[in-house]
Structure 1
Amino acid sequence: MIPYGRQEITQADIDAVVGVLKSDFLTQGPMVPRFERGVAEHVGAKHALAVNSATSALHIACLALGLGAGDTLWTTPITFVASANCALYCGAKVDFVDIDPKTYNLCPQALARKLELAELDGTLPKIVVAVHLCGQPCDMATIRALSQRYGFKVIEDASHAIGGKYRGEFIGNGRYSDITVFSFHPVKIITTAEGGMVLTNDADLANRMSLLRSHGITREAEQMTHAPDGPWYYQQIDLGFNYRMTELQAALGVSQMERLDSYVASRHAIAQRYDQLLATLPVTTPWQHPDSYSGLHLYVIRLQLEKTNRSHRQIFESLRESGIAVNLHYIPVHAQPFYQELGFKQGDYPQAEQYYREAISLPMYPTLGDTQQDQVVAALHGALAP
C-alpha cells in the first residue's frame, strides 16, 4: 500500500533522540529552546514556542489574543476541525468564509463582502484564522489590510506550510499576522511525532502563550505578585495547560529541520511530475498562485466528474483497492454533525461543498519514488476508465 503521506526517520534522527534518552533531561531541558530558536531563525520570527500539538498551539494563540465569550472567530470550512474548535475551547463562536475555487484557501473577496455586512450589524470577528491549505499560503496581504480596516486579529494556521514562502519570504515571519501555527504531525513536512509551534513577533503575546502552555506558572520574579519566598518559589498567575513539548520530540525536530528545505524541494519535484503525468486525464491539478511557494504538504486533485461515468466514491474506492491509500482533505467543517447542531447547514458554503464532492489527495511525501508515483498514476487511469 502506498500511503498518502509518510515520515522519513534517518539514523541522524534516531541518534538525536537516543542522545536525549541518555541525557539528564527528558523534558524541560535544552533541546526545546534549541528547536524553538532554530525554527524562529529559519523563518525570521522573533519568538517561537514549541507545544505538544498544533491544536494546542491554536488554543493558546486564541487565548493570548483575548478570544472569549461574546467573541467570534472566522475561518475556512475546508480545514481540519481544530482550526474552528479552538474558538469553542475559548467559549467563543465560530463562523466560516467560503473558499477560493482556484487555491481552495479562504477567499479574500468573500471575506471582504462578509466583513462589510458584519460591520453593519455589529458582528465583526475578533480573530480570522487563515489556513494555508496543502501548504499554499493565503492572500495574506489582502487579509492583513482587511484586519487593519476592521480591527480583527490574524492567526496563520500554517500546519501544512513550514518551509513554504509568501512573496519570497518564509511563512511564519509574522509580516502579515499576529501569530503563526505550525504542525509537526508525522504526515507533515517535518515531524516531532506529535507536536506544534506558535510564532510571533510580539513579546507580550509570546510571554502570555509561554504561561498558558505550562499551567499558567511562572518562576520569573518580575511577573509575581510579591517577592519570591526563596529559590524554590513559583506562582500560578493564570489558568494554563500542560501543553509542553518533550525533549525527545524537540531533538527529533532539530534533526529534521536540517532537511526542511530539501524536503520541500523534493515535494515540488514530485508535484511537477504529477502535473505532467496527469495532464491528459479528466482531473484538475493544483494551481499555484505566483505569490506563493507552497510547502506542498498535500497534492489534491479535483475530479472532472462530468467527463467520466464514474462517481467520486467509485474512483476513490478503486484507488484504495489498487493499493493507493488516497485520502480526502477535508470534509467541510460546517457539514460535521457537531457543527450542524450549532446551526450550520448544507448550502451555506457552496464552493467548499463543491470542492468536497471532487477532491482526492494523492500520495505526496519526499521519499515517494518515480516507480511508486507511476503506480499511483496508473491506478488513477484505471479508476477513471469506463
Structure 2
Amino acid sequence: TKLFHTAEGGASFCNDEKLKHQLFYHHNFGHNGAEEFHGLGINSKMSELQAAMGLTVLPHMEMILSKREAVSKRYEELLSNVEITFIKWRKGATRNYSYFPVLFPSHQIMTQVKEALEKNKIFPRRYFYPSLNKLPYLDHLVTMPVAEDIADRILCLPLSHNISGFDVDRIIEIIIKEML
C-alpha cells in the first residue's frame, strides 16, 4: 500500500531548513550531536540495505504515481453512478494516490461490500476506523458525531501501481452488484 518504500520504513523530504533539522533530531532519539538534545525523538534511522532499497524505488516514482492515478481515475469513472462519495479535493491541491477511500451511504452497505470483496479474495482496508476519539486508551473521550459517522462508513479500495485493469473492473463489478 505504500507509495514509496524502503522495504521497511520510509523517507522524509522537505525544503525548509528548520523543519529538516527538527525531523533529523526526532529520528535520532532527540539528539543533536553526541551530548546535545533538542527534544523528544525515537530511533528511526534506516540501515544501509533499507536506504539502498529506497534508492532503487526512487527512479520509478513517476511511473508509480502515473499508474496509481490511472487506477484512481478508473475507479472514479466507473463508480460515478453509484451512491458513494469520493474525496472532494480543494482547488490547487495535489494528490499522491496513496489511498482510494470511498464513503458509503451506510455502515450496513459498507460492510456488505467489504464482505463481498473479501469472499472474492479482495481485501479493502478500513484505514480510518475507528474514529480516533473512540480509541480505548485516550483519557479525554469526546463525542465527534461527524468523524464517527464517516469512520463507520469509509473503506479504502485496493490501490497499487501493479493492480491490473481486470482486477479493478472486478472490484467495481462486485461493488455495483452489492449496491443494487
Give the TM-score category using the shorter length.
0.7 to 0.9
Residue number in structure 2 paired with 1:376: 171
Query: Which runs of 5 or more structure 1 residues have no equivalent in the other structure?
Result: 1-186, 219-234
What is the SS of the residue equivalent to 1:258? helix
Cα separation, partners in 2 of 1:358 and 1:217, compared to 1, 3 Å: closer
Offset at residue 202 of structure 1 (A):
2.6
Amino acid at match of 2:110: H
**Partners of 1:376 and 1:276 in 2: CA distance:** 13
Deviation at 1:363, TM superposition (A): 0.8
- Structure 1 residues 350 and 372: alpha-carbon distance in aligned structure 2, compared to 1, 3 A threshold: same
| Aligned residue type for 1:321 | K
Separation in structure 2 between the aligned mates of residue 209 and residue 288 of structure 1, nearest angstrom: 28
Q: Give the structure with the larger helix fraction.
A: 2
Which among 196, 205, 208 is matched to residue 10 of structure 2?
196
Given the alignment of the two structures, is residue 362 of structure 1 paired with residue 161 of structure 2, yes or no?
no
Is 1:312 aligned to residue 110 of structure 2? yes
Shift in CA distance, 282/208, structure 1 to aligned 2, threshold 3 Å: closer
Shift of 1:279: 1.7
Shift of 1:255: 1.5
Contact 2:68–2:161 (8 Å) recurs in 1:
yes
Matched residue of 2:6: which SS? coil
Contact 1:319 1:383 in 2 (8 A): no
CA displacement at 1:256 relative to structure 2: 1.0
TM-score normalised by length of structure 1: 0.42
Q: Does 2:81 match 1:280? A: yes
CA pair 217-330 structure 1, distance change in 2 beyond 3 A: same
Report whether the alignment pairs 1:236 with 2:31: no
Q: What residue number does 2:69 align with?
A: 268
Deviations 1:152-187 (A, max 9, x none): xxxxxxxxxxxxxxxxxxxxxxxxxxxxxxxxxxx2
- The 5 A counterparts of 1:241-252 are 241-252=42-53
* Alignment partners' CA distance in 2, 1:209 and 1:272: 34
- The alignment's C-alpha RMSD in Å is 2.3
Structure 1 counterpart of 2:141, from 340, 344, 356:
344
**302 and 251 in structure 1: CA distance in 2 versus 1, 3 angstrom threshold:** same
Larger Rg: 1
Q: Percent identity over the alignment?
A: 19
Q: Which of residues 127, 133, 142 in structure 2 aligns to 1:334?
A: 133
The C-alpha deviation readout for 1:230-271, integer Å capped at 9, x for no partner, is xxxxx3333864321111111111121111122112111111
Q: Which secondary structure does the structure 2 equivalent of 1:301 belong to?
A: strand
Q: Which amino acid aligns with 1:190?
A: F
Q: Distance in 2 between matches of 1:350 and 1:364?
A: 28
Give the CA deviation at 1:361.
0.8
Point out the structure with the larger strand share.
1
Residues 103, 155 of structure 2: 8 Å contact kept: yes
Moved over 4 A (4+): none
Structure-2 separation of matches of 1:190 and 1:282? 32
1:258 maps to what in 2? 59
**Separation (CA, whole Å) in 2 of partners of 1:291 and 1:207:** 28
Shift of 1:209: 4.5
TM-score, normalised to structure 2, is 0.84
Specify the SS of the correspondent of 1:292: coil
**Aligned partners of 1:212, 1:279: CA distance in 2, in Å?**
43
Provide the rounded CA distance (Å) in 2 between the counterparts of 1:384 and 1:358: 14
Contact 1:324-1:379 within 8 A present in 2 as well? no
Letter in 2 for 1:383: E
Q: Write the distance in 1 (CA, Å) between the matches of 2:67 and 2:6.
A: 20
Equivalent position amino acid for 1:316 in 2:
K
Instruction: State the shift of 1:211 in Å.
Output: 4.3
Query: How many pairs are equivalent?
Result: 175
